[in-house]
Amino acid sequence: MATPIKEKPKITQLRRKKGLGNIVYSKSGDTLNIKLFSQEVKDRDKEGVLQGDYNGTTFPGAREWLSPVWIKIKNEWAWGGDSNDLIDLIKKMRLRYPKDHERAGQFILPGEKVEERLTYIADEVFTHPDLYGTYFLLDGKINLNHDDPKAKFLMLCQKGNKNLVQDKSSDKPENKYLAAGAKYELVSPKAQQKKRKEEVDKDVKALMLLAGLRGDENRLRATAEILEVPGYGEDTDADGIFIMLNDTIVTNKDTARKYGGKITQNRFIEVAEMTNEELDVCQNVMKAIRIGVIRKREKYILTNGAKIDGLADTLGILNYYLNIVNQKAYEDLLDAIDNKKLL
């Protein structure tokens, strides 16, 4: 009989966001430039051998103790879970009342109104000694195992401290203003690994599509024209286009307004995967924009004596003419391009 595979424990990492090099030490905005040296024999009077810049978030070996957090401005304990989480963890932590308590030695139970614990500054759970002086960040980080009830409890305490801790361990939308001021972040190593794999897969896909374009100069030029690659012109040779796409588009993870706010790499993949017919439509639309048959305005376009509302960027215009519903409009556009040539 096969032995069942044991599921790996869920881990959430709490870590400092910025390194020591982000510390500003003067009014002019100068930051620290810390160097790392090594010594075979410890000697504080000697400098040692330079190893390079030190990019750690704390001094090597530094510890920061982890504990529940009382938020004074709200008069409540920081908590990133719900009442059920609190009930479950109080039971699993098996914290005992202290010796000077009338219930000394007994386990602390959640109680009938567990949510009231969050607003009582002297609560026996949130102030319990077992939750202080045991867990600490080493070199700016700590892995908190969800199978350890106390570690999970402290993780949820930090998760609720939104002014100082940015929660990146889930896909929930973040408050960008709170995130900007946070000194720490919660991340899921497993989720980060998955995300990184997806990024690498996309990089490989984009590079393979680029390699495929190299053998078809017509598609290569069409792609460069549709993406409005900086520096591209009709006199640019195929090798030049290939290099331009590689250097400015294929691995570019920035968003672009002309692509409707999409990531540049994602838009490249979309265009490179178009059929020849779709590329032909897009090239004609780009030509219409270039020669003035289509005139862009802030929230609409003017073309062939008509006003079309709701088209604010190049991507929107291309998608409009790619839509089979607008086939008649596309045919009129081709006529307008031909008439423009005759002038």
pLDDT tens digits for range 132-156: 999 999 988 999 999 999 999 999 9
Listed by start position, the domains of the chain span: 63-175+182-187, 216-342
Q: At 117, is the secondary structure helix, strand, or coil?
A: helix
Where does the chain show beta strands of DSSP type E? 11-16, 35-38, 49-53, 63-65, 70-71, 76-77, 136-138, 141-145, 165-167, 184-187, 255-256, 262-263, 294-296, 300-303, 306-309
Residue 92 gets the label, from left (phi > 0), alpha (psi -120 to 50) or beta, of: alpha
Question: What is the percentage of the chain residues whose pLDDT exceeds 90?
Answer: 59
Which whole number is the average pLDDT over 54-72? 86
Backbone angles phi, psi at 125, to 5 degrees: -80, -55
Helix axes 238-245, 217-226, angle to 10 degrees: 50
For tokens 């700016």, what's the residue?
140
Say if strands 141-145 and 11-16 run parallel, antiparallel, or are unpaired. Answer: antiparallel
Report pLDDT for 343: 47
- Given a contact cutoff of 8 angstroms between Cβ atoms, the answer to whether 22 and 31 are in contact is yes
- CA 308/CA 38 separation, integer angstroms: 67
Long-range CB pairs of 280-285 (<8 Å, 24+ gap) are: 280/222, 281/318, 281/321, 281/322, 281/330, 282/222, 282/226, 282/318, 282/321, 282/322, 283/222, 283/225, 283/226, 284/321, 284/330, 284/333, 284/334, 284/337, 285/317, 285/318, 285/321, 285/333
Residue 61 has pLDDT above 90, yes or no: no
How big is the chain, counted in residues? Answer: 343
Task: Tell me the HSE value of 35 on the side-chain side, using a 13 A CA sphere.
Answer: 8
- Given a contact cutoff of 8 angstroms between Cβ atoms, the answer to whether 320 and 308 are in contact is yes
- CA 156/CA 162 separation, integer angstroms: 11
Q: What is the DSSP string of 184-231?
A: EEEE-HHHHHHHHHHHHHHHHHHHHHHHHHTT-HHHHHHHHHHTT-TT
Task: Give, in order, the Cα–Cα distances in Å from 116 to each of 76, 83, 119.
Answer: 10, 10, 6
Chain segment 216-256, per-residue pLDDT in tens: 999 999 999 999 999 998 899 999 999 999 999 999 999 99
Residue 23 has pLDDT above 70, yes or no: no
Chain segment 306-315, per-residue pLDDT in tens: 888 988 788 9
- Given a contact cutoff of 8 angstroms between Cβ atoms, the answer to whether 141 and 13 are in contact is yes
Q: Give 75's contacts (C-beta < 8 A, 6+ positions apart).
A: 119, 121
Chain segment 271-306, per-residue pLDDT in tens: 999 999 999 999 999 999 998 899 988 888 888 778
- CA 102/CA 122 separation, integer angstroms: 16
Chain segment 181-226, per-residue pLDDT in tens: 788 999 988 888 888 899 999 999 999 999 999 989 999 999 999 9
Q: Tell me 9's DSSP state.
A: P
Report pLDDT for 265: 96
- Given a contact cutoff of 8 angstroms between Cβ atoms, the answer to whether 124 and 116 are in contact is no
Q: Which pTM value belongs to this model? A: 0.62
- CA 269/CA 265 separation, integer angstroms: 6
Say if strands 76-77 and 49-53 run parallel, antiparallel, or are unpaired. Answer: unpaired
Report pLDDT for 127: 96
**CA angle, 24 then 15 then 173, to 5°:** 95
Assign 260 a pLDDT band (cuts: 50, 70, 90).
confident
